[in-house]
Structure 1
Amino acid sequence: MTGKTSLLFDLDGTMLDTDPLHIAAFQRLLADYDRSITEDYYMTKIMGASIDAIMADLFPDLPKPERLALGERKEKFFRESLTGPLEPKAGLIDLVHWVKDNDLGICVVTNAPRENAEKMLGGLGIIHLMDHILIGDELPNAKPDPYPYLEGMRRLGVERESAVAFEDSAPGIRSASGAGIYTFGMRGALDDAVLRQNGASDVISDFTDDRLWAKLRGAAAGSTYSPA
């Protein structure tokens, strides 16, 4: 890698495990319509998608303003479940501090609403360490379009050769890899084969993986961090 290496992170499912909370929020919303979703539906239709796209799929016959109102209601249910300090993926906090200690760039690229993103990052105690927080619905195109990651690199002032991304969903991996970024697929709801099929350069379980540190080693001269 050349230049000032920067790391770009998805949020939900990547920095912390929120899938069960999102599923519960959707079930709570859909209960009023005598409907529910399966885990398979969540993984294939919802995971990583923008709330606008999700609601259009769930309620195709409703006018857009009504779909947006339902989406806002679901996100309110989700935020209500974010209580107390949140549990990060293993190694995340050490990695974020390593990035800042070595004067590297860091950016969150998410399809989550800003209110959700700020509450999650605040609950993790790292919101003040982010250089940028990019929200899909605030950009011309959200994931799976490459635009959010291209914009993230532009704001960080780096080329794709100096960027590393982390994603757990198919739309997110397609977005990051489509921008030409070396992308770590995060094991979780999707297995290794699906992550790689969607463009993951490598697959890791969390941020303590030796393969991640092999990729980052040497990016910042003089680092004192020694991963477990």
Structure 2
Amino acid sequence: MKDTPKALLFDLNGTIIDDMHYHAEAWHHVLTKDLGADLTWDEVKVQMYGKNEEVLARIFGEDHFSDEEVRKLSSDKESYYQEAYKPHLKLIDGLHNFLAEAAAHPVKVAIATAAITGNVDYIVDNLGIRQYFDEFVSADDVENSKPDPETFLKAAEKLQEKPEDCVVFEDSAKGVESARNAGMRCIVITTAHPKEEFEEYENVIGFIQDYNDPLIKNFFQKDDK
């Protein structure tokens, strides 16, 4: 890859693992069955970005639930998700090799996600990949969710790298917008959204279906010359 970055920032859901369907199932269960919201599957999918409390506020309004109720609903949602997804837990194809290759090069790696810390730990520890990441930024570490740039800027700060020296891996338009707002280039993995949804984002430098893509295979080629 031309101008190999000094840091790689990975979103988690849909980017490291292909699990967005299970998050949608969990949210649909909580919102329609537990809370009785009249929402279709597609309407739920559109709303499920950012922190859990932000999802609830967008749908039901600010201050509809007490802090205790929000914590309970958030916990229930994550329990539904983890139980449903655990039998299917695996890295997106090719990612393990890419992370191992990154570890052999002078590049720093972080997870920068809107997921809560508990879900980050659940994923990286069950998959045995914690050693590949230098830093972690979760929903619990920021005040403002994507598309605000705080998540990615905090990750760059923790890695002690400039935003322009970072490349973000994302699967959603909100995540790509967050990277753009942070002044970072972005590679989109099309696990959940087609290329057409990213046409307005000039910071996108490539699209991949998984980490066996030629763009990834040649990512560190310049360093090896």
1:147 and 2:127 matched: no
Unaligned runs of 5+ in 2: none
Matches within 5 A, 1:1-228: 5-30=6-31, 31-35=33-37, 37-46=39-48, 48-60=49-61, 62-65=64-67, 66-83=69-86, 86-199=89-202, 200-218=204-222, 220-221=223-224
Judge conservation of contact 1:3–1:158 (CA < 8 Å) in 2: no
Q: Tell me the CA shift for residue 7 of structure 1.
A: 0.7
Q: What is the RMSD computed on CA atoms of the aligned residues?
A: 2.3
Judge conservation of contact 1:50–1:143 (CA < 8 Å) in 2: no
Question: In structure 1, how many angstroms separate the alpha carbons of the residues matched to 2:90 and 2:155?
Answer: 25
Provide closer, same or farther for how the CA distance between residues 28 and 63 of structure 1 changes in structure 2, counting only shifts above 3 A: closer
Judge conservation of contact 2:5–2:167 (CA < 8 Å) in 1: no
Q: Tell me the CA shift for residue 58 of structure 1.
A: 2.6
Q: Tell me the CA shift for residue 129 of structure 1.
A: 2.0
Write the deviation string for residues 21-40 of structure 1: whole angstroms up to 9, x where unpaired.
Answer: 11221232231233464342
| Deviates further, 57-66 or 68-77 | 57-66
Q: Tell me the CA shift for residue 162 of structure 1.
A: 2.3
Q: Tell me the CA shift for residue 63 of structure 1.
A: 2.9
TM-score with structure 1 length normalisation?
A: 0.86
* 1:8 counterpart SS class: strand
Question: In structure 2, how many angstroms separate the alpha carbons of the residues matched to 1:188 and 1:38?
Answer: 21
* 1:201 counterpart SS class: strand
Provide closer, same or farther for how the CA distance between residues 204 and 2 of structure 1 changes in structure 2, counting only shifts above 3 A: closer
Judge conservation of contact 1:136–1:143 (CA < 8 Å) in 2: no
Letter in 2 for 1:52: E
Judge conservation of contact 1:55–1:68 (CA < 8 Å) in 2: no
* Corresponding residue of 1:226: none
Q: Tell me the CA shift for residue 171 of structure 1.
A: 1.5
TM-score with structure 2 length normalisation?
A: 0.87
Judge conservation of contact 2:4–2:220 (CA < 8 Å) in 1: no
Judge conservation of contact 1:55–1:71 (CA < 8 Å) in 2: no
Q: Tell me the CA shift for residue 4 of structure 1.
A: 6.4
Judge conservation of contact 2:6–2:106 (CA < 8 Å) in 1: no
Aligned residues: 220
Judge conservation of contact 1:27–1:36 (CA < 8 Å) in 2: no
Unaligned runs of 5+ in 1: 223-228
